[in-house]
Structure 1
Amino acid sequence: MTEQLDPQKQLQVKKGIDQAEDDLVTWIQNALDQTKYGDLEESQFRNLVRVSDTTESAEVIKNFIRYQVGRDKKWGRGKESLAEKIIEDIDGSIKKNAQIIAECCQTDFKPIWLEMIRRYLGYGARHLKYKRDGAA
């Protein structure tokens, strides 16, 4: 988080994000379990995680997802695709929760939103690994 918060606010923000983690895990697992996509490799998903770690922009993350959709069908296409579900979660549930945390802590929501997106995508990489290599 780029904004300098006093230690008390930092703790409140961290607590708020930590309390939302179960939701983040559930949302990305549902996205991976209930959408259509091709033979998406763990490395391709990790590239998305890397993009999220190197930007301060949710729009850059969504742009990268759309770019991947344009390159091949591994992310799925159309309304029921993994790509669209991830973008929907970023703009919907994740953003809404980040705004609630920011309001409670009286701080900017954007750094909170980005941290939540990063965690969501990180949990997605783990779940995809499980689906590809661990699930029977």
Structure 2
Amino acid sequence: MTNFSEQQKQLKIQKGIRQAEDKLVEAIHTALNNTSSYGQLEESQFRNLVRVADTTESVEVIKNFLLYQVGKDKKWGRGENSLALTIIKDMEDKIKNIAREIKRESDADELNPIWIELIRRYLGYGARYLVYKNKGEV
């Protein structure tokens, strides 16, 4: 494969990711708007999740961190309707499906780098929205 075709592939991947941003924002807004699914979640706790996502290439590590948070306290919620499990479901379903579509359309070799980038953006948008939910919402 030539360097040019690899660049073309990367451009298609980035374009697909940018085009999926509205879906990511909508998904995390939906999760965070269901305030009955979690407790008094602080921005710093959500930012810790973002940091974990930024420092790994593993979706399983991100899920493991979320489950650890659920075990620590009730701020991430409890049970199947918890915010933590909603985020995991979004990662496994909505975000993974978007990643598969981008992979297919770009003819990318691997799914995981696309999937991880989408998850990072989803969580980043969530961190911002949580600040609004906690401090800016009237």
* TM-score greater than 0.5 by the shorter chain: yes
Unaligned runs of 5+ in 2: none
Paired residue total: 132
With normalisation by structure 1, the TM-score equals 0.95
Structure label with greater radius of gyration: 2
Which residue is equivalent to 1:39? Answer: 40
Which residue is equivalent to 1:20? Answer: 20
Which residue is equivalent to 1:88? Answer: 89
Give distance in 2, aligned partners of 1:124 and 1:131.
10
Residues 94-113 of structure 1 aligned to structure 2 (within 5 Å): 94-107=95-108, 108-113=110-115
Give distance in 2, aligned partners of 1:91 and 1:97.
10
Residues 43-82 of structure 1 aligned to structure 2 (within 5 Å): 43-82=44-83
Give distance in 2, aligned partners of 1:22 and 1:124.
12
Query: Aligned Cα RMSD in Å?
Result: 0.9
Give distance in 2, aligned partners of 1:56 and 1:79.
26
Identity of aligned residues (%): 61
Unaligned runs of 5+ in 1: none
| Secondary structure of 1:78 counterpart | coil
Note the alpha carbon deviations across 1:27-78, whole angstroms, 9 max, x for none: 0000000251011000000000000000000000000000000000000011
How much does 1:88 deviate?
Answer: 0.3
